Each structure stands twice: as structure tokens, then as C-alpha cells.
Amino acid sequence: MKQLKVCVIGTGSISDMHLQAFVNHPDVVLYGVYDLVKERAEEKALRYNVTNVYKNLEEVLNDPNIEAVSICTWNNTHAELAIGAIKAGKHVLVEKPLSMNLKEALEVQAAAQKYNRIVQVGFVRRFATNTKVLKEFIDHGKLGDIYYAKASCIRRLGNPGGWFADKKRSGGGPLIDLGVHVIDICWYLMGRPKVKSISGNTYSHLGNRANIQNLSFYKAADYDKDQNNVEDMANALITFANGSSLFVDVSYTLHAKEDEIQVKLFGTKGGAELEPELILISEDNDTIMNIHPQIDHLSFDFSNAFQNEIDSFVSSCLTGEKPIAPVEDGVELMKILTGIYEAAEKKSEITFF
């Protein structure tokens, strides 16, 4: 079997999931790493036994041995790096969100088409065990037509700071960082309907709550309690051309009792909750049935999902098969996310086509 030579660009926190999954793959040679902070790339190269540490982007793009790159950098660099890699003839796995806005997303898609390269977006929840099990039930008609979905990803104290809190590098706060995951998973399971209209709100009342004592939370490496210009909460109602709708709310900070994640789908024949735990809801013999699938992972299984995501990307690169999370889905998600920010700014519903 041919082996795929891969380079990981950006070797911060999430790169560990990519690097480990590539190491685990028998058909991959982890050929290179590159980060703006060279010591960080060197440390990862040592830990994962990577062949080359590149000094700059040109070295990566000009190395003909590299066949695919995994982009794990700040959001504001995703589109530029992806287009550069595509033009250099490399396949691309790019972390979510695909880009900062719709225009950039369309540019990545155009480059992927022109240069005929695989571009997969890091919608890792699509690769979780509970998602795969639920998708099979949906594909077999268990839920009927899904006409409503509800997604929530609430942190009461969870603005990671650093680049996440700097709109110029992140593109926004919890909506673009957490909302992208839960909106995508609903949209994917609803059958990827076309967006018709969006209304939404963003709020910036609590800031990063850096004043809170005696409660720990995840902080980016360069956390600075005084730096934050992203929203702390967002909600939206997205209506699709087929009449179905999705309601979402997300936060970095909120006066909530506890953190929570919920993904719920409601169809004409049945319903389902994907998070916090997979459960199917049905009606049989005039009785409502809550059905508990007996599987190892009822909730998002982080490392398995990343392994499945990487395995699928490698398979697409080696065989040419279409990715499960293709670039056009990244574009559609950017349309939704930027639509929510626009609707919130205009304080009115926006419509498409």
C-alpha cells in the first residue's frame, strides 16, 4: 500500500490529536511539522518522531515530498494556508472553521476545484461513534423527516483567552468556535438543507469573567485577563428552504447553573438526542418509547472521533473518494455563521436567494 507523506502546520493544543492519529495510521509517514514558534514544532517533532521541522511556510510548500497538510493554526490563517497548499499540489485537512468569512471560504473551494485537490474541514463530531450510529438510524428513516433541531453549547466560565479572544485572529467568540460544531452536526444530520433565512443575537455583557475565583477553566497558552473583544453569548434561529428550522445558543460566559451541551433532533416519525447522550425517541403500540442504544460511547468520544476523522482524510487522499466533510460544507457553515453575525449586527432577519 502506498504511504501518504503528511505535514502538520500549527503545533499548538489540537495538533496533538492530529499528530497522534497520523502516527497511529499504518499508511502515513509523518513527514514534517511547522509552526511560527519553532521550539514548539521541534518539541512535537521529538515527541511524535517526525522527520522534518520546517523553518518557514515556503519550505513546506516547496517540498515536493509532502502530499498532504493538516492545518491547525489560528482561524485567520486557515484560508490563506489552505489555498497556498492546494496551489502547491497538496491535499488539505483544515481545522474548523474553514475561514474567517464566506468570501474566503469560496476562494478555498474555487482553488480546490481548480487544482483538483481533496479539502476536508475539521467537523470532527461527524466522525464520533454516537453520530455514526444515529446517522444510520436517520438514513433508515427512523426519524422520518427532521423538521426541527435544537443545539446548545453553554459555558458559564470558558473564554479561553489568547487568540480565541482576539476577533482579528478568531473571527468571533463562542459562535464561530463552539457554534460551528453544534450547528454543523445538526445541519449534517438534517440532510444538509439549503439555508433560507437567519435571525440572531450576540451579547457582550459579562466579558471573560476573569474576576471569578476558586473555579478553574481552560486557558490558552497566552491568556491575558485584560484582552477580549469577542461576544460572550449568541443565539440564532436558522430556517431552511424545506421548512425545517434549527435553534442554537452558545456561550463562553453566562449566568448559567452549569456548562451544558445539547443536540436534539425532532422528526415526523421519531426524535433523538445526540448530546449529552445518544437516545432515540419513538412511538409504538400507542406508547412513547425512549430507546437507549447499548454502545461503548453514548457521548462524543474525542480521541476515537479524531482517529476516524484522520483515517477518513487519509483514505480520501489515497483513493480520491469524496471526504465526509467536504469543502462545500465548510462554505455552507461559513454562510450560516457569517449570516448570524450579520443578522445580529443589523438587528433583523436576513434572507438568502
Ligand X SMILES: NC(=O)c1ccc[n+]([C@@H]2O[C@H](COP(=O)([O-])OP(=O)(O)OC[C@H]3O[C@@H](n4cnc5c(N)ncnc54)[C@H](O)[C@@H]3O)[C@@H](O)[C@H]2O)c1
Smallest separation (angstroms) from ligand X to the CB of 97:
7
Smallest separation (angstroms) from ligand X to the CB of 301:
12
Q: Where are the alpha helices (DSSP H) in 121-279?
A: 129-139, 167-170, 174, 180-189
Q: Which is nearer to ligand X, 13 or 303 (CB)?
A: 13
How far is it, in rounded angstroms, from Cα 266 to Cα 150?
9
How far is it, in rounded angstroms, from Cα 48 to Cα 16?
9
Q: Is 279 in the site for ligand X (CB under 6 A)?
A: no
Q: Which residues contact 154 (CB under 8 A, 6 or more apart)?
A: 249, 250, 251, 254, 256, 259, 260, 261
146 forms bridges with which residues in the sheet?
267
Q: Is 13 in the site for ligand X (CB under 6 A)?
A: yes
Query: Looking at 14, 256, 279, 291, which residue binds ligand X (CB under 6 A)?
Result: 14
Query: Looking at 72, 157, 265, 325, which residue binds ligand X (CB under 6 A)?
Result: 72
Q: Is 166 in the site for ligand X (CB under 6 A)?
A: no
Q: Is 10 in the site for ligand X (CB under 6 A)?
A: yes
Q: Which is nearer to ligand X, 177 or 328 (CB)?
A: 177
| Per-residue contact string for residues 231-250; x = within reach of ligand X by CB under 6 A | --------------------
Q: Which of 152, 105, 154 lies closest to 326, judged by CA?
A: 105
Amino acid at 112: A
Grid coordinates representing 67 are 502530499
Q: Is 167 in the site for ligand X (CB under 6 A)?
A: no
Q: Is 54 in the site for ligand X (CB under 6 A)?
A: no
Query: Looking at 84, 122, 173, 174, which residue binds ligand X (CB under 6 A)?
Result: 122
Smallest separation (angstroms) from ligand X to the CB of 32:
12
Nearest position to ligand X, beta carbon:
12
| Local structure of 280: helix, strand or coil | strand
Q: Is 38 in the site for ligand X (CB under 6 A)?
A: no
Smallest separation (angstroms) from ligand X to the CB of 54:
9
Q: Give one DSSP letter per residue of 36-72, joined into a string.
A: SSHHHHHHHHHHHT-SEE-SSHHHHHH-TT--EEEE-
Q: Is 35 in the site for ligand X (CB under 6 A)?
A: yes
| Local structure of 198: helix, strand or coil | strand
Q: Which of 188, 187, 194, 191 lies closest to 242, judged by CA?
A: 194
Number of CB atoms found within 10 A of residue 98's CB: 33
Q: Give the torsion sign (CA, 125, 126, 127, 133).
A: positive
Binding part of the chain for ligand X, among 10-18, 106-114, 199-207, 235-243 by CB under 6 A, reads 10-18
Q: Residue 14, exposed/middle/buried by CB under 10 A (0-12, 13-18, 19+)? A: middle
Q: Is 99 in the site for ligand X (CB under 6 A)?
A: no
Q: Is 9 in the site for ligand X (CB under 6 A)?
A: yes
Q: Is 171 in the site for ligand X (CB under 6 A)?
A: no
Smallest separation (angstroms) from ligand X to the CB of 48:
15
Q: How many residues bind ligand X (CB under 6 A)?
A: 24
Backbone angles phi, psi at 283, to 5 degrees: -135, 130
Q: Which is nearer to ligand X, 12 or 270 (CB)?
A: 12
Q: Is 120 in the site for ligand X (CB under 6 A)?
A: no
Binding part of the chain for ligand X, among 33-41, 135-143, 247-255, 293-301 by CB under 6 A, reads 33-41
| Binding interface with ligand X (CB under 6 A) | 9-15, 34-37, 40, 72-75, 77, 95-96, 122, 124, 163, 177, 220
